[in-house]
Chain A
Amino acid sequence: MSRPTARKAAPKGEYIETDSGNKVSRRSAITGTANITLGGRTVIMAEVQLRGDLHSTRVVPSSTGKDVTPTAISIGRCTVISTGSVIRPPYRISRGQIHYYPLKIGDNVFVGPNCTISAIQIASHVHIGANTVIGPFAMIKENVKILENTVVPANMIITAGSVVGGRPARVVGEVGEGWGVGSTGGVGVGGGGEKNWVEGGDLRELVRSIK
């Protein structure tokens, strides 16, 4: 389980680090922690809101008979949620009732500062620029770059490898074949204080550098 541990903050730092390496800022606003899963080595920066309380209220018949806590937000590994971003699951009104749907974010996703995200799914290796709004039930596939100040309308599906921007968002280009290649694998870029992570690449180094 990757919930932030409830122990008292003995060493005063910006981040609380969990056993699986998640770094959660003390100044983040997280509600409904039971409904949030963090994959490990994920960073939640200051003033980030994670609305885990907005979980699915539908009765799920469970096979084991035990009461399963519904997941509202699940975030993968090495994902960075920058300051001031709001992650809230999307909802749909059906027969006069509000139903929330779980929001999934993949691995190595970078969410820039001051974003509002209500997508249904964000796949891995996605880079989201600052001040972006992602509408309810939008689906973002792998290797997508969302430029700054973009508004992705509701229900939009962004195919893998696109660059989107504008209000409303439209596909403005494609990421190159080398998207996300660079920091790990055979090509070592790091060292010497160099920025050793690339957009869409493995964010492990970035996560490590955040203290």
Chain B
Amino acid sequence: MAQPFPYTYYACDCYESRFQSPLAKRNSRAPAEDEEERTFDPSNPRSNYSLFPLEHLLYCEDCRQIRCPRCVVEETLNWFCPSCLFEVPSSVVKSDGNRCTRNCYNCPVCTAPMTVSSLEDPADPSPSGGPYILSCPYCHWSTEEIGIEFEKPTGITGQLAKIANGGKPMQTQKERDKERERRKEAERARRQDRLTGSGDEPPQSNTGSPPHDDVFASLSSFYKSQLAAQTPSNPFSHDVSFTSPSSFSRIMNLYSNPKKQKRDKPTPMREAASALEGLTLHDPTVDTATIERLKTCGWSSTLSSTQQLAQPPGAHFTSSLRPIATLLHTKRGKRCATCRHILSKPESKITSTRYKIKLLALNHIPRLSLRYLSPLPITPNHPVPQTPNPANFSYDNITSGLPIHFLLHLSNPLFDPIRVTLATPSTTPGKIASAVTILCPQFDVGANTDVWDDALGVDPPRSGSVTSASDGQIEAGKVWDRGRNWTSVVIEIVPGFKKSVTSGWKVPGAGGERERGEGSAEQGDDLDEDDDVLEIPIFVRIEFETDVLGEERGEERGGAKEGLKEKREEAFWTVVGVGRIAG
């Protein structure tokens, strides 16, 4: 989802660690090292799939790794209709599909939820208050346009299944299944009759093509019968009976040389041959009728492709629209794909929004944020109150070539002080190369202690640190400011140029200086969408000492002392979206 500038995305390396490292291992040693050294390229198309905002990331405390939506396993806790908020048991979902079977429908034209309204004539009130229609409050489409009215305001699904477009009664799925069985029986009886020589009634011709569901049901039952006829009774069961010749030969095949024995060709399956088996013959009159209809009604009576997708196949005209039953929602828990530990588990009650378990990356990973730092006067004699005025600065309109200072703010959610090392490529990857310098790439961030410590000034050495450049001077190697559990450092960015600068002149000290071949310069000219977005990949490595977890300590209780510390580190790539280069 697009976020306003400046934003920070965190990269989850699950794809690389799962799919690329075995490849690197298989190759020689050098590429593997290259893989390690490689800087993260946010403009790489694949990066889109590994970058997430921090709120979407979970943290597996056992693997000690970030878990993104791609490397968790989801399990459905329950199904419910988002519109009527009724829980649907999973057995019903399996039998009836993942749509609400109550009164919830979406407009087939605009997808807005539809409401049941009464068409009762006030002058002539009916006892039931009806007739009722489904109508869309957004685009004012209603089932009246397809000639459907309901007798009752409830049980719309049941009523809708019995009414075809135009108000004619229609058989429900069950009735149709029954009907098909009956016709099949009749067909079989007739064939028997024909074999015996009696009964020569012609098969009644059915006018119009059968509905799509009907064809599907016939075809599926036909193929099922074909498969049942083809496969031996129970090929995958364990109690293999040697009496069956097919299973015996299968076992013999397993233990003998497969090359010598020629596999017997499976007998080709028959395709559906009659309408009862699901055969539909192409009817040219349908096509001509469609064309005629297009001629008379015009383009406006046809469906758009998105509308068609939501409809049963074969719907082309607005007259064949049916209201769409609302899709069900799920509540899902998440597990780590590697160690199967639960990472998040919402309460199973639909109305509840609380979580039983929620292991957020927010609580384990420092939060990075970027902010514009207004240029300060060079003369230190006139200390101007350092109130950066972000109102004047537009992140969407960054001037090329001029160095801009930003504050990179890092806050620590951990209860131990951390030591942070930041790394960034000196020029950003991508078509516009901007020069980036983190003025203080290595610093400490205080522990996330009680909020009151900050307010009461319990920890004076932290607030008035010697290294902080509180006098408003931007100086390399010094942090800008720091507080209880946060530290901010200055980052200098020289945005690159949109137009190719390689041919004639070079910008001193800027990213445009980067050597490019003639060919790449030509490539740089045609910028794609979002190529002008200034994104900085920053590698963050944190080190800290923490108490050994209670359960781990329990294992070695004999030798271990209380307050045992262990050294831990985390490392990950982040991408900071600074803004858009104006050019």
Contacts and interface: CB of A to CB of B under 8 A. Distances in A.
A50 B552 CA distance: 58
Contacts of A171: 82
A143 B353 contact: yes
A178 B85 contact: no
A175 B346 CA distance: 14
Contacts of B112: 153, 156, 168-169
Contact of B57 (A154, A176, A179, A186): A176
A181 B111 contact: no
A155 B361 contact: no
A5 to B, nearest CB: 30
Interface in B368-398: 369, 371, 387-388
Nearest to A151: B138
A155 B137 CA distance: 8
Contacts of A179: 55
B98 interface: no
Nearest to A172: B1
A34 interface: no
B56 A178 contact: yes
A13 interface: no
Q: What's the dominant secondary structure at chain B's contact region? A: mixed
Interface string A177-211: 11101100011111111110010000000000000
Contact of B115 (A155, A181, A189): A155
Contacts of B476: none
B451 A188 contact: yes
A159 B371 CA distance: 34
Nearest to A191: B483
Q: Which of under 10, 10 to 19, 20 to 34, or 35 or more describes the interface residues of B?
A: 35 or more
A157 B85 contact: yes
A51 interface: no
A21 to B, nearest CB: 19
A181 B55 contact: yes
B137 A135 contact: yes
A141 interface: yes
Interface string B338-364: 000000100000000101001011110
Contact of A178 (B57, B84, B111, B334): B57
A173 interface: yes
A188 B485 contact: yes
Contacts of B316: none
A173 B56 CA distance: 12
B419 interface: no
Interface residues of A, number: 40
Contacts of A99: none
Contact of A187 (B1, B113, B362): B362
A49 B481 CA distance: 42
A160 B369 contact: no
Contact of B344 (A142, A160, A177, A194): A177
A24 B84 CA distance: 36
Interface string A104-137: 0000000000000000000000000000000100
Nearest to A141: B353
A14 to B, nearest CB: 16
Contacts of A154: 115, 137-138
B448 A187 contact: yes
Contact of A173 (B1, B83, B367): B1
A91 to B, nearest CB: 14
Contacts of B483: 191-192
Contacts of A182: 55, 362, 367
A102 interface: no
Given A163-B1, A176-B56, A186 B448 contact: yes
A176 B80 CA distance: 19
A131 to B, nearest CB: 15
Interface centre among A143, A161, A179, A192 (most CB of B within 10 A): A192
Contacts of A188: 411, 448, 451, 454, 484-486
Contacts of B361: 178
B369 A195 contact: yes
Contacts of B55: 175-179, 181-182, 198
A170 interface: yes
A186 B413 contact: yes
B80 to A, nearest CB: 8
A80 B53 CA distance: 24
Interface of B: 1, 52-58, 80, 82-85, 110-113, 115, 136-139, 329, 334, 344, 353, 355, 358, 360-363, 367, 369, 371, 387-388, 407, 409, 411, 413, 448, 451, 454, 481-486, 488
22 contacts: A135-B137, A151-B138, A153-B112, A153-B138, A154-B137, A156-B113, A161-B353, A168-B138, A170-B111, A171-B82, A177-B56, A177-B344, A177-B355, A178-B57, A182-B362, A186-B413, A187-B413, A188-B451, A188-B454, A191-B484, A192-B488, A193-B371
